[in-house]
Amino acid sequence: MQIDLTGKSILVTGASRGIGKAIARQLLASGAQVMAHYHRTPVSFDDLSKTEQSRLFTGQADLADAQQTIRLFDLANKQLGQLDVLINNAGIALASPLTEADEDFLQKWQATMAVNLQAVALLCRLAVWQWLKDSRPGIIINIASRAAFRGDTADYLAYAASKGGVVSLTRSLARAYGKQNIAAFTIAPGFVSTDMAADFIKDYGEDYVKNDIALPELTRPQDLAPLITLLASGLANHATGGTFDINAGSYVH
């Protein structure tokens, strides 16, 4: 089986670093046209061929801001011509201990929900709406987390709760719009060696993370990209609604 994404247009949020960047890189290598979204870190790939470069577009938005999120979607449609696949990857993990002042605790919950859940819902809504209007098929791939199923540590309650919301949202979309040829998938990574995990490792130590997994090495961002590329191709649409664990055997359920 060959996976060729030529002719597919894909928006990847949070493609400036970590998992999103590795996903965007693989999609470009597989022939897709990609809008790589970023917030503060400009998107930069140092190893693209000329043809890959010609299929890369970038768009900036703070996904905590609904208006900026809507503008990003419009820009993606304009630059890509049409959207075939939406990959909601951008996310934040803010430690918010129960012992914090009320104001700080609430501020972190609100920020987490805005980026991790509300922006995902908004982009899904815009994409589904567009696909229904145009009578076109579409694919949504939402990056949730193992934390949605296993739970997280005491400091990351908001993070786990936001990812639980992403799982329910994705499953509901899959069931609601399957007949219109819209598929929706959840990816549930465990620890992946990115800036986000680095913060956690700083707090809890590398042994905590390594002892948790069945495989010898931590998952790297590029370990997620092949499965996501397959899902983006449409070849696995009969798995719609499904959740795919990529957690190095740290949580098998």
Q: Does the annotation count 163 as an active-site position? A: yes
Stretch that binds ligand NAP, among 4-12, 58-66, 131-139, 150-158 (CB under 6 A): 58-66
Based on CB atoms, which residue is closest to ligand NAP, 14 or 138? 14
Residue 81 CB coordination number (10 Å): 9
- Among the options 21, 38, 163, 177, which is catalytic? 163
38 is catalytic: no
The distance of closest approach from Cβ of residue 173 to ligand NAP in the complex, given in angstroms and rounded to an integer, is 17
The catalytic residue among 8, 108, 156, 159 is: 159
89 binds ligand NAP (CB under 6 A): yes
- CA–CA dist 164, 105 (Å, integer): 19
Site residues for ligand NAP, window 111-140 (CB under 6 A)? 115
Binding of ligand NAP at residue 100 (CB under 6 A)? no
Helix axes 225-233, 18-29, angle to 10 degrees: 50
Query: What is the smallest separation between the CB atom of 1 and ligand NAP, expressed in angstroms?
Result: 26
Nearer to ligand NAP, 136 or 150 (CB): 150
| Range list of H helices, the chain | 18-29, 50-54, 66-80, 102-113, 119-134, 147-150, 157-177, 195-204, 206-212, 225-233
* Helix/strand/coil for 33: strand
**C-alpha distances in angstroms, 20 versus 7, 11, 180?**
20, 10, 27
CB of 86 to ligand NAP, least distance (A): 14
Q: Would you say 84 or 245 has its CB closer to ligand NAP?
A: 245
> Would you count residue 192 as binding ligand NAP (CB under 6 A)?
yes
Closest CA to 249 of 221, 219, 222, 208: 219
Report in angstroms how near the CB of residue 186 gets to ligand NAP at its nearest: 11
Q: CB within 8 A of 107, min separation 6: which ones? A: none
Nearer to ligand NAP, 136 or 220 (CB): 220
SS3 content of the chain, % helix, strand, coil (to 5): 50, 15, 35
Interface of this chain with ligand NAP, residues 7 to 36, rule: CB under 6 A: 14, 16-20
User: For ligand NAP, what does the binding mask look like between residues 139 and 158, x meaning CB under 6 A?
Assistant: ----x-x-------------
- Does 40 bind ligand NAP (CB under 6 A)? Our answer is yes
Q: Tell whether residue 59 is a contact of ligand NAP (CB under 6 A).
A: no
Helix, strand or coil, per DSSP, at residue 245: strand
C-beta separation of 61 from 69 below 8 A: yes
Reported residue count of the chain is 253
Contact residues for ligand NAP, defined by CB under 6 A: 14, 16-20, 38-41, 62-64, 89-93, 115, 143, 145, 189, 191-192, 194-197
Q: What residues are annotated to the active site?
A: 159, 163
